[in-house]
């Protein structure tokens, strides 16, 4: 998201195609960890998207784990008025305590987990309720059975599931089936 008009246009095209939301990648123009100019540019793009698509369209933000925790918290606070559904990978995964701190300080719900591969790797996040949304990838976490186990653990912690999918049509089909069988799957419709 570099240009507000272009960001709004792309989101409108996604909305017109019948989708209920779109994901964008904020803060990608950063040249240093606390690049406030990049943050303001990203906020302007999110504001333009919200204005273009209206209040009933989900905006999902994916920072790919690259911002610092401090920048992520500040960005989340400033982008809150535009009601993003979640803020994915707001920092590098590794420290559950740091993720928990970002999640507690962020007014935008945090999503993470696409880089985790086993239920055992998800358990510390679930035990700490370190985020609002877990995002196991069916192809990375071992398939439908481990995904279902992760989803059950998450449900007990009152966490939502928003599976990640970067694996093509077969993984998409598996993710859709998994979502349909998951009571805590995040879905508006």
pLDDT bracket for residue 166 (50, 70, 90):
confident
Q: Which of 56, 140, 164, 177 is catalytic?
A: 164
pLDDT bracket for residue 2 (50, 70, 90):
confident
pLDDT bracket for residue 162 (50, 70, 90):
very high
Q: Domain 1-110 in CATH: superfamily?
A: Enolase-like C-terminal domain (3.20.20.120)
Give the span between the Cα atoms of 142 and 78, in whole angstroms.
Answer: 37
pLDDT bracket for residue 45 (50, 70, 90):
very high
Rounded mean pLDDT, 3-32: 94
| Structure confidence by residue, pLDDT tens digits, 117-145 | 999 999 999 999 999 999 999 999 999 99
pTM for the whole structure: 0.93
Helix (H) or strand (E) holding 24: strand 21-24
**The pLDDT of residue 33:** 83
Residues in the chain: 189
Q: Which of 56, 64, 140, 177 is catalytic?
A: 64
**The pLDDT of residue 188:** 63
For the question of residue 164 being annotated catalytic, the response is yes
Whose tokens are 């195609």? That residue is 17
Does residue 39 have a pLDDT over 80? yes
Q: Across the chain, what does the average pLDDT equal?
A: 93
Q: Could you count the other beta carbons within 10 Å of the beta carbon of residue 1?
A: 23
Rounded mean pLDDT, 90-115: 94
Helices (runs of H) and strands (runs of E) counted in the chain? 8, 6
Rounded mean pLDDT, 1-16: 92
Does residue 189 have a pLDDT over 70? no
Domain 113-189 class in CATH: alpha beta
Does residue 99 have a pLDDT over 80? yes
Q: Where are the domains of the chain?
A: 1-110, 113-189
Does residue 167 have a pLDDT over 90? no
Contacts of 27-34 spanning 24+ positions with Cβ under 8 A: 27/63, 27/66, 27/67, 27/71, 27/75, 28/1, 28/2, 28/64, 28/66, 29/2, 30/66, 30/67, 30/71, 33/67, 33/68, 33/70, 33/71, 34/68, 34/70, 34/71
Helix (H) or strand (E) holding 110: strand 110-112
Is 1-110's fold the same as 113-189's? yes
**The pLDDT of residue 187:** 74
Helix (H) or strand (E) holding 41: helix 36-53
**The pLDDT of residue 148:** 94
Give the span between the Cα atoms of 15 and 1, in whole angstroms.
Answer: 17
Does residue 1 have a pLDDT over 70? no
């Amino acid at each position: 998201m570099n240009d507000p008009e272009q960001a709004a246009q792309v989101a409108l095209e996604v909305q017109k195609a019948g989708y209920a939301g779109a994901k964008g990648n904020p803060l990608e123009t950063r040249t240093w960890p606390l690049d406030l100019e990049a943050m303001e540019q990203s906020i302007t793009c999110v504001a333009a998207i919200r204005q273009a698509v209206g209040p009933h369209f989900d905006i999902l933000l994916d920072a790919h784990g690259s911002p610092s925790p401090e920048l992520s918290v500040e960005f989340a606070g400033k982008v809150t008025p535009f009601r993003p559904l979640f803020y994915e990978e707001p920092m590098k995964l590794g420290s559950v305590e740091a993720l928990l701190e970002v999640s507690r300080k962020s007014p935008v719900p945090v999503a993470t987990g696409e880089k985790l591969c086993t239920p055992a790797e998800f358990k510390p996040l679930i035990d700490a309720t370190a985020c609002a949304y877990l995002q196991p990838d069916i192809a990375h976490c071992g398939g439908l059975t481990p995904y279902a186990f992760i989803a059950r653990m998450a449900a007990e912690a009152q966490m939502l599931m928003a599976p990640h999918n970067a694996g093509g049509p077969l993984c998409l089909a598996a993710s859709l089936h998994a979502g349909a069988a998951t009571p805590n799957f995040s879905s508006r419709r």
